[in-house]
Structure 1
């Protein structure tokens, strides 16, 4: 579906561009052959806006913010805080240089760890299983054995490493972090009285982007320190924004925000149902807004966050070594024997409303019983009522029955909030408490049901708003720190490449007035703007000393090494993600 939407979107854009070219002013002179074969990328142009389309890249450049930038630059020049702000961006230059080195170290370390993780998953022999006893109370601590080399980097691939439903939130988070990044370049440029050519947004296939463009001559002609401030300001803003998010999370400000907005925190005892996948068997039976507070025989109020308990219970796999078997139900022997055993035979197709049960004293005595009868016994006087471990816990002529060991049954006990009971009443199930029985792999519940911590006090409040904010906040934290390190990689098309070139030029130049070499890419090109005219002039080649060639070779070697390491990390990350599916 997503591919179809993208194909239609880009098809309409290219159709409009072709229509616009045909409707253009006619020319009676012979047109050059090159103009007949090359399509103009322009989609729309006005005094302050220019929209272009080229190679599945849609770009919108705006010059309407130039006056605001000029005004801000004038205020900064007159401000008494200018010296302090300049010092802060000088610190940002140092942080940027350290971040560039750190990004290379991170790439090397990540490549090694990803390679070891891939080896463990592909060739390593799993360790033999050692039987162990686990008490029911210790269930959250039970975990599957993990690889000795955990991958330090996980590629964010919607539908593979992250849910496809998170794609809109992911794209908005990515665009937000880029806008903050470009704002840093714009503020630092205003501090140095560098005029702004344009700001803009871009879209490449599906990925959004943001950019600011400066006249290349103005940026390249600056002394080294101001140039370093402008180049490193974007990553510096990303780092400051990440620190602000960390402080916000550490201070738990959201815990004070949501109660004011009308939400109650249930994170200590339950999970709020936010959404259910439409393809899930639970869809239509598990109401949005219900609070799940019990999974099977285990409650979620264990003194720690219910989210951890919820995930542990659904991912736990009981082993034969566990000495504490699940509880059964006391059932009248005659009532149990009256049921048939058709669903217990391997050749019989599964029956959704029945499961195979057997007494603890005679496992071969199997019968098919509706699991709901064990949980809603009021409708049948002979139905099981009491829980038991063995027949000793039951009365005369009763059996202690439990699901057969291969039957995957899980009961979910829900609390229905008062504002939701009116809607549930229409289905005839308007009680404050409900119990659902899930037949199948419990991990599917984690995949098909989205749950949260905050319960709205009224039906007027959106149930999914706190979870949406939490997802957005989490992606912001991840992407803004990732963008900080990624942009500081010493590659020619990133800030790190420009930072390395500026440091190299400062180091190799005999005087502060020396400019970048012709091999340098203007910052406006770096930010991805579509340029024409003299906005993208490449500086004149300066005279270099006898050691310049060696230093240039070193700079080129760093570029190549960074590119190779990045490619290795991407390939290894994709391989690990494929094996983790």
Structure 2
């Protein structure tokens, strides 16, 4: 899969390079230049001055409120710098322990992870990852732009870019005006990006927690899970499987009211094997004649060409010395007539019509016979590994109240908000690291000037930035090594 993804990315940049070569200095190239587009090696950029006036108005709209806002951002960013160094240090120690230990040490709960699409990030998650990353970068740069215009620093331009596959944003400030400001004002501008990322992460987290209430007018919860997607070509796809919009209320004998119940029921089905109770007379009337034989470790008593029959085993209490007996039964009909009585032995079965026996499907581990109830339609039968069901069927606790509402909207918003929380918080912490070329470099330099250490400032700043850069690079290198292993 990752090979296909890599080929698609390379093809995209090759096509852009070919178009640039053929257009040359023609009208198309001139139009792109006037529009602010620039194309380089694996780098596409759009730069504009259209938003300068908007940032100027934002920076001068509410001066007192903005001073308080960016003052709080300064305190938050300094705390984030300390926290980022701590996280990088603990992540580095944890990575070294993983590489040197024969067994994996317990997780510390705070792990820095290098994200590579197609390797440790599923390609279908790019639909959430890339927009969330771009949003986080744009909000970060908006923070710098508004803080700069508030303190009288002119904005030259702003824009967005795409580097290989990763999007980003930037603002160009008049550096001469910036350097003429007092160290404290400079510090507020440098800290504004980190501050805005933290605020965005907090807002996204609040929306994520409030999502069930925000979706309440159009969606209900608690009566099952709705199918949002089924992997094409899987066992659950097709006319006899599940469809998008199906409401699943029960998995065999396990009732389902939420996503957590769905996962728990599937996990429970792998650990516990339940049979079904049926009267012995009914078994005799339903079973078909077939030869019992062993195949790849399992017992089979049905014709291989049968798609509706399944082999069941049961014990006869009066013939315990003869082992299990077997019956080939039509699965759906047997399930409809057996009733909802899970069992492990004959003693678990209630007295039905005559003698009751416990039937167990003869399947190779980890295969199970599962029944997915989706009223008012007929239940769907699944024979196979429950893990396959978990990975090929996506469900949501949000059930649409109206037919026109898409069942996949709440899960989409939920996943997107989770990515915004993670990426915006990570971007804020990363930029707070005292490292060359990151916001942390300028934050630390302005901070040292604020505390008035003119003699110690240059050497101390260089040492701290070198240590911070080394710490970040060490985490990146070990992250790559861990991905390879």
Report the TM-score, using the length of structure 1 for normalisation. 0.72
Q: 1:318 to 1:504 in 2, by over 3 A?
A: same
2:33 is matched with which residue: 45, 69, 75?
A: 45
Paired position in structure 1 for 2:103: 123
1:52-451 alignment runs, 5 A limit: 52-73=38-59, 75-76=60-61, 81-117=62-98, 122-123=102-103, 148-150=106-108, 152-153=110-111, 154-250=113-209, 252=210, 254-260=211-217, 262-263=218-219, 265-266=220-221, 268-284=222-238, 285-301=241-257, 306-316=258-268, 326-330=274-278, 331=280, 332-335=282-285, 338-341=288-291, 344-346=294-296, 354-361=309-316, 364-377=324-337, 384=338, 387=341, 389=343, 390-391=345-346, 393=349, 395-396=353-354, 399-404=357-362, 406=364, 408-416=367-375, 432-451=376-395
Contact 1:242 1:480 in 2 (8 A): yes
Structure 1 residues without counterparts, runs of 5 or longer? 26-40, 125-146, 378-383, 417-431, 511-546
Paired position in structure 1 for 2:10: 7
Residue 577 of structure 1: how far off its partner (Å): 5.7
Residue 279 of structure 1: how far off its partner (Å): 2.8
Q: Name the CA distance, whole Å, in 1 between partners of 2:68 and 2:340.
A: 73
Paired position in structure 2 for 1:483: 427
Contact 1:277 1:448 in 2 (8 A): yes
Q: 1:216 to 1:170 in 2, by over 3 A?
A: same
Mean Cα displacement is larger for which, 339-348 or 199-208?
339-348
User: Matched residue pairs, number?
Assistant: 462
1:335-378: CA deviations, max 9, x gaps?
A: 4663425675228998765544210446543344453333244x
- Partner SS, residue 434 of structure 2: coil
Q: Name the CA distance, whole Å, in 1 between partners of 2:327 and 2:484.
A: 42
Contact 1:114 1:152 in 2 (8 A): no
Q: 1:502 to 1:99 in 2, by over 3 A?
A: same
Are 1:467 and 2:467 an aligned pair? no
Residue 91 of structure 1: how far off its partner (Å): 2.8
Q: 1:412 to 1:163 in 2, by over 3 A?
A: farther
Contact 2:253 2:340 in 1 (8 A): no
Paired position in structure 2 for 1:533: none
Contact 1:199 1:213 in 2 (8 A): yes
Q: Name the CA distance, whole Å, in 2 between partners of 1:116 and 1:412.
A: 45
Contact 2:184 2:446 in 1 (8 A): no
Residue 241 of structure 1: how far off its partner (Å): 2.0
Residue 160 of structure 1: how far off its partner (Å): 4.4
- Partner SS, residue 365 of structure 1: strand
Residue 72 of structure 1: how far off its partner (Å): 4.1
Q: Name the CA distance, whole Å, in 1 between partners of 2:10 and 2:432.
A: 33
Paired position in structure 1 for 2:471: 565
1:350-407: CA deviations, max 9, x gaps?
A: 8765544210446543344453333244xxxxxx457363445354466421123635
More helix, by proportion: 2
Q: 1:353 to 1:572 in 2, by over 3 A?
A: farther
Q: Name the CA distance, whole Å, in 2 between partners of 1:156 and 1:373.
A: 49
Residue 572 of structure 1: how far off its partner (Å): 4.2
- Partner SS, residue 24 of structure 2: helix
Contact 1:272 1:454 in 2 (8 A): yes
Q: Name the CA distance, whole Å, in 1 between partners of 2:251 and 2:194.
A: 45
Q: 1:414 to 1:575 in 2, by over 3 A?
A: farther
Q: 1:475 to 1:24 in 2, by over 3 A?
A: closer
- Partner SS, residue 249 of structure 2: strand
Structure 2 residues without counterparts, runs of 5 or longer? none
Q: 1:465 to 1:341 in 2, by over 3 A?
A: farther
Residue 318 of structure 1: how far off its partner (Å): 5.3
Q: 1:299 to 1:50 in 2, by over 3 A?
A: same
1:113-143: CA deviations, max 9, x gaps?
A: 34445566x536xxxxxxxxxxxxxxxxxxx
Q: Name the CA distance, whole Å, in 1 between partners of 2:224 and 2:478.
A: 39
Q: Name the CA distance, whole Å, in 2 between partners of 1:11 and 1:270.
A: 48
Q: Name the CA distance, whole Å, in 1 between partners of 2:200 and 2:229.
A: 31
Residue 238 of structure 1: how far off its partner (Å): 1.2
Q: CA RMSD in A?
A: 3.1
Are 1:497 and 2:449 an aligned pair? no
